[in-house]
Amino acid sequence: MNESDYTYSSIPNDVALKIASSLEGWRGFYIKQHKEMKDQADSVVKFVEKCLQSESIQVNDYLKAIECLKLMGFGFKDVQMLLLKPKLNVLLNLVGLHYCLNILKVPASDVMEALKSSNIKNRQICIKWWKLGRWFYGFRMRDEFHFRCLSLEDLASSKDDEDVLGVLQRGAIHEVLQVQISIVSSRSNAWA
């Protein structure tokens, strides 16, 4: 028998119904899983939006959002569909980008492609951080203020001269006193 001999009419009705019901079961399962992931992503979105203070977020809240994604078991495709969208706040896009690069270890080229396909690669963010002043001959020098405005594409491709994603990953520990992430168009200068 060749493949053309297997047509719908050659399958008994009871077998066809079982196949159709199992396919419907898989379809329902897939839809249910997708809805659960969307609900979980919505909880992260609501958390980040609640933490936003005049279009900026402190690094501790930012890292909590990433940890939530990790605990929920989000994969690259989940993040791509649910967080790398132009309708969302750029800070949520950044959470998704950071999660993909640093937690999932997705290759930068794949993340860049996702940013391009979502049309969010040129969205800008601003990262400000204070570093503890160094000691110089027994005297502590002034704390240093650092400021970087970058596109999501620049972050994904590591075009910046300093490892900004590293500062975001570490947060306010060791020599970094405070980290604030904001939207470039933001007029907020809470502690600049």
Q: Quick one: what percent of the chain has pLDDT higher than 70?
A: 73
The total number of structural domains in the chain stands at 1
Instruction: Check if the beta carbon of residue 82 is closer than 8 Å to that of residue 93.
Output: no
Task: Name the token pair of 92.
Answer: 């949520």
Would you say residue 110 lies in a domain?
A: yes
Please give the single-letter amino acid code of residue 129: W
Q: Is the pTM of this model over 0.75?
A: no
Over residues 144-166, the mean pLDDT reads: 79
Would you say residue 141 lies in a domain?
A: yes
- Position 5 scores a pLDDT of 43
Would you say residue 5 lies in a domain?
A: no
Over residues 151-178, the mean pLDDT reads: 73
Average pLDDT of the residues of the chain: 77
Would you say residue 6 lies in a domain?
A: no
Would you say residue 9 lies in a domain?
A: no
Would you say residue 8 lies in a domain?
A: no
Instruction: Check if the beta carbon of residue 143 is closer than 8 Å to that of residue 132.
Output: yes
- The residue among 135, 47, 146 whose CA lies nearest residue 91 is 47
- Position 118 scores a pLDDT of 93
What pLDDT, in 10s, does the model give residues 59-94? 888 888 999 889 988 899 989 988 999 999 899 999
Instruction: Check if the beta carbon of residue 150 is closer than 8 Å to that of residue 181.
Output: no
Question: How far from 176 is each of 97, 143, 147, 149, CA to CA, in Å?
Answer: 22, 10, 13, 18
Please tell me what DSSP assigns to residue 84. Answer: S
Instruction: Check if the beta carbon of residue 144 is closer than 8 Å to that of residue 57.
Output: no
- Domain holding 155, by residue range, is 15-183
Would you say residue 169 lies in a domain?
A: yes
Would you say residue 73 lies in a domain?
A: yes
